[in-house]
């Protein structure tokens, strides 16, 4: 069975527990995987094993070790992260009618491939016992549907207007649209949401178009301290609601860097943690410029940033944030 990402909800309820995700649109792929995991959780799957390219030789033994199951054993999700090259034989060989009979095992193949031909023998077998989900670039009307679904927290009486404006500002760019949706959640789902109207939201979207908070991550990782400070200055002027997201971004950078720096293979840790391939080298360069003491100090200051934003300590959030960004710059 095959479907496009935009139509996933029509098929996932009757799908088997085997999934193959591919396509060029990373945001859709991540949404699809999250939706699949939610569905599997409702079916009683509670544990997950992740196997990457270098561990694919363990696929058959992992399936064999868990295929039998028992009355008291957990249902297991095996996620295969296929990140380079063609689909290897060790994956194509696992597809058989018998595989679909293992009620206590689910398999999710998350492939880097933009396109997959379903004409080979193994691919036809895979399609017959799994749900194959293609995550390709959305057409204009599909993008509108996707936006409306993901903006469900916006009241019905002006959701269509927000969808229209967001689509115009970032047409065809789901990454930018997803970032803006996260910002709007912070803006709208705070304690004063009942006081917000359409003008609050649209003004935020227009004013924040110059810089996105997510651009701060790239500026910091690339050692562009001046640009990072410029982004902060712009956001402070245009959007007083971005503080929580900025803290999240800062914490993400320092936490990933701190753990990766202690890992046997920092690059593999970052990859398995969901860092985009295009950002991994920036993270590795950032890590080289920081000591463990530096990263520990930064994590403490980020905690203090959160306290200052909540008014629990007497420090100016924006001044402290600028100070931390300067500290994060190259030594």
SS3 content of the chain, % helix, strand, coil (to 5): 60, 10, 30
CB 201 within 8 A of CB 154: yes
Q: How confident is the model at residue 147, as a pLDDT?
A: 92
pLDDT, tens digit, for every residue of 87-114?
Answer: 888 888 887 756 767 788 899 999 988 8
**Residue appearing with tokens 């999710």:** 108
Tell me the C-alpha to C-alpha distance, in Å, between residue 269 and each of 136, 260, 321: 27, 6, 27
Q: How confident is the model at residue 204, as a pLDDT?
A: 59
The CATH code of the domain at 2-134 is 3.40.50.300
Q: Where exactly are the structural domains of the chain?
A: 2-134, 139-209, 210-331
The CATH code of the domain at 210-331 is 1.20.272.10
pLDDT, tens digit, for every residue of 229-279?
Answer: 988 888 887 655 678 888 888 999 999 999 999 988 999 989 888 888 888
Say if residue 36 is exposed, middle or buried (CB neighbours under 10 Å; 0-12, 13-18, 19+): buried
Same fold, 2-134 and 210-331: no
Residue 73's SS3 state is coil
Residues with Cβ within 8 Å of 35's Cβ and at least 6 positions away in sequence, in order, are 8, 9, 12
Q: How confident is the model at residue 42, as a pLDDT?
A: 92
| CA–CA gap between residue 59 and residue 56 (Å, rounded) | 5
* Regions of the chain where pLDDT drops below 50: 191, 195, 209
CB 62 within 8 A of CB 39: no
| CA–CA gap between residue 302 and residue 217 (Å, rounded) | 15
Q: How confident is the model at residue 191, as a pLDDT?
A: 42
Q: How confident is the model at residue 192, as a pLDDT?
A: 54
DSSP 263-288: SS-HHHHHHHTT--HHHHHHHHHHHH
Q: How confident is the model at residue 160, as a pLDDT?
A: 85
Please tell me whether the overall predicted TM-score, pTM, comes out greater than 0.85 for this model: no
Alpha helices in 116-265 (DSSP H): 121-129, 140-150, 156-169, 174-188, 198-207, 215-221, 225-238, 243-262
Q: How confident is the model at residue 8, as a pLDDT?
A: 92
Q: How confident is the model at residue 154, as a pLDDT?
A: 84
């Amino acid at each position: 069975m095959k479907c496009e990402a935009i139509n996933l909800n029509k098929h996932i309820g009757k799908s088997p527990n085997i999934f193959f995700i591919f396509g060029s649109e990373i945001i859709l792929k991540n949404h699809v995987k999250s939706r699949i995991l939610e569905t599997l959780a409702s079916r009683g799957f509670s544990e997950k094993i992740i196997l990457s390219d270098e561990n694919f030789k363990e696929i058959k033994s992992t399936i064999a070790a868990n295929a039998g199951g028992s009355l008291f054993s957990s249902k297991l999700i095996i996620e295969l992260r296929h990140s380079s090259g063609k689909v290897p034989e060790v994956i194509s060989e696992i597809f058989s009618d018998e595989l679909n009979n293992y009620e206590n095992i689910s398999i999710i193949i998350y492939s880097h491939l933009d396109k997959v031909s379903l004409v080979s023998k193994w691919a036809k077998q895979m399609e017959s016992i799994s749900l194959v989900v293609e995550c390709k670039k959305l057409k204009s009307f599909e993008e509108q549907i996707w936006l409306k679904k993901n903006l469900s927290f916006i009241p019905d009486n002006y959701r269509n207007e927000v969808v229209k404006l967001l689509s115009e500002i970032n047409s065809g760019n789901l990454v930018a649209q997803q970032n803006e949706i996260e910002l709007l959640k912070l803006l709208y789902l705070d304690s004063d949401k009942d006081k917000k109207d359409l003008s609050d939201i649209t003004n935020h979207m227009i004013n924040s178009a110059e810089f996105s908070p997510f651009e701060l991550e790239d500026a910091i990782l690339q050692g562009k301290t001046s640009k990072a400070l410029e982004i902060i200055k712009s956001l402070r002027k245009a959007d007083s609601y971005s503080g929580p997201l900025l803290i999240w971004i800062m914490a993400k950078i320092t936490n990933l860097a701190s753990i990766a720096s202690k890992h046997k293979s920092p690059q593999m840790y970052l990859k398995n943690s969901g860092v985009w391939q295009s950002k991994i080298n920036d993270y590795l360069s950032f890590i080289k410029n920081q000591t463990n003491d530096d990263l520990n100090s930064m994590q403490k200051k980020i905690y203090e940033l959160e306290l200052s934003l909540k008014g629990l300590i007497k420090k100016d959030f924006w001044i402290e944030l600028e100070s931390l960004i300067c500290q994060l710059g190259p030594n």
